Structure 1
Amino acid sequence: MSVAGTRYPAARAEAPLVVFDFDHTLYDGDSGGDLFAWLVRRTWWRTALALLIAPIAAPMIAFLPTRRRGIGAFVWAGTVGFHRRRDLDELIDRYVLLHDAQIRERLLPVALDVLHRHREAGDRVVIATGAPPELARAILTFVAHEDVPVVGTKVGPRLFGVMATRHCHHEMKMTMLREAGFTGDVAIAYSDSSADMPLLKTAKRPVVVNPKPDKVDTFRRELPPGTPILNWGIPSRGGEPG
């Protein structure tokens, strides 16, 4: 893991573009889910509201076409009463500071070392995540001392709360990366998720890390022969140690 005060060479405009997913790639778990659970548990009535909408919202998360709405419903339950994205950003910063020790344990040292080496090499490194970008940015800045660009799910005011308005997921992840200015060929992409197949297939060198065991054959079938499938320290996940 890098330390505070690390200085990296400035990434050159023509340097290789390297994209990291966040959850289950750099972070052992679902960072957004952990945040939303904390938001909901802050008060009893938010918990009751989340339980009330769970029978409808929870199954929606399992399916790509409805995932954004399912996630957004729980974000709304945790933020109703707040009306600006800035309100959610302030809650995220508070959450990260309150859970520094727990988050530190979830960051994967092997993954952070790979991230560190790419930055030392002067590569253009970006995190592309389905979580709100402020969350991944706060975790990496406050806990891992890595100030890297983050592209993530956009949120905005909805129904007296804050909800996901654009989910950085599947093909939309590539669209949002390009819109954020990360153009040109993707040299290397690291991800655990089959939902990131568009990103992995775009990359000149895809690297699968910490995949679900039942998805390993899918990655081997869909990606070029010899694609590394690695495990960076999550015992319940698949991949070769590396």
Structure 2
Amino acid sequence: MRVITVDFDGTLYQGNSFKVMFDVAKKQYGAKQWAVVGFGTLKALGKLVTSGKEPAKHMFFRSFVKSFKGKSKSELEGFFYALANGDLERVNRPLVEKVKQHIENGDKVVILSGALNPFLTAFREAVGLEDADIIGSELFYDENNIAIGKMGDIVNGDKKAEKVQEWLKNRGLTVDDVTLWAYADSESDGPLLDMVDYPFVVNPDEDMEKLAQQKGWPVFGS
């Protein structure tokens, strides 16, 4: 059995999902929600100074999720649909076609990302990858399907490798029982790329290209 994991930001999608999120929010948000986002942005800037880029990004992400508080699940599905369909020209079409080929060959495909699950679900449908599973960051709702403004673990770095192992365990499998592939773009994806049998680097920046050369990881499309 072959399991193919595919990252989203920078891999399947080669734009900036935060920018698209802002663009959609401009059309849908009111003053109260922008106040939440603005306060979170200030906190994230402080975290950038004290802790660095990655913790700052995570804080901003969680702050943005706070702005969803009080929205129904159906309202947010509309938001994420607009988000997923808002910048499709930046979709990595050659990789999407490669992933479709994996599915046609009987491989199990998993879209693996720190992005929120409802966003990944909308994106999966927008690009015709409905048969792929999703491992993303969970958005929490109450018993009435109203967002509470909180999310689960951000699936990034070591967490990606952990989540893949958890996904396999839930199916009675281990990494030794399957042939694992991974398409990813970031240095933070290193633990995942180290774990799989067939790692592929997608759209690397200069630092990632150097790491790929050191590790002997092939670059998709080159």
Answer yes or no: is the 8 Å Cα contact 1:71–1:164 preserved in 2. no
Tell me by how many angstroms 1:213 deviates.
Answer: 2.5
User: Pick from 200, 218, 222: which aligns with 1:228?
Assistant: 218
Q: Which residue identity lines up with residue 21 of structure 2 in the other structure?
A: L
Tell me by how many angstroms 1:69 deviates.
Answer: 3.4
- Equivalent residue, structure 2, for 1:209: 202
Matches of 1:90 and 1:57, distance apart in 2 = 29
Answer yes or no: is the 8 Å Cα contact 1:79–1:161 preserved in 2. yes
User: Pick from 166, 186, 198: which aligns with 1:179?
Assistant: 166
Per the alignment, do residues 119 and 101 of structure 1 end up closer, same or farther by CA in structure 2, a change over 3 Å counting? same
Per the alignment, do residues 132 and 100 of structure 1 end up closer, same or farther by CA in structure 2, a change over 3 Å counting? closer
Structural mapping, 1:36-51, within 5 Å: 38-39=24-25, 42-51=29-38
User: Pick from 31, 37, 46: which aligns with 2:17?
Assistant: 31
User: Pick from 116, 123, 128: which aligns with 1:145?
Assistant: 128
Tell me by how many angstroms 1:44 deviates.
Answer: 2.4
- Equivalent residue, structure 1, for 2:149: 162
1:79 alignment partner, SS class? coil
Matched, 1:104 2:88: yes
Q: How many residues align?
A: 207
Matches of 2:80 and 2:36, distance apart in 1 = 24
Matches of 2:6 and 2:75, distance apart in 1 = 25
Between the aligned residues of both structures, percent identity stands at 22
Matches of 1:97 and 1:114, distance apart in 2 = 24
Answer yes or no: is the 8 Å Cα contact 1:96–1:138 preserved in 2. yes
1:180 alignment partner, SS class? helix
Per the alignment, do residues 115 and 174 of structure 1 end up closer, same or farther by CA in structure 2, a change over 3 Å counting? same
Answer yes or no: is the 8 Å Cα contact 2:85–2:123 preserved in 1. no
1:229 alignment partner, SS class? coil
Tell me by how many angstroms 1:81 deviates.
Answer: 2.8
User: Normalising by the residue count of structure 2, what TM-score does the alignment of the two structures yield?
Assistant: 0.79
- Equivalent residue, structure 1, for 2:108: 124
Answer yes or no: is the 8 Å Cα contact 2:184–2:201 preserved in 1. yes
Q: Which residue identity lines up with residue 150 of structure 2 in the other structure?
A: M
Matches of 1:198 and 1:151, distance apart in 2 = 16
Matches of 2:157 and 2:179, distance apart in 1 = 16
Flag the structure with higher helix content.
2
Matches of 1:104 and 1:175, distance apart in 2 = 30
Question: Structure 1 stretches of 5 or more lacking a match?
Answer: 1-14, 231-240
Tell me by how many angstroms 1:169 deviates.
Answer: 0.8
2:86 alignment partner, SS class? helix
1:166 alignment partner, SS class? coil
User: Normalising by the residue count of structure 1, what TM-score does the alignment of the two structures yield?
Assistant: 0.74
What's the Cα RMSD here? 2.7
Q: For residues 8-63 of structure 1, give each alpha carbon's deviation from its aligned partner in whole angstroms, at most 9, with x where no partner exists.
A: xxxxxxx2111100111111224366336634761123223322331222454754
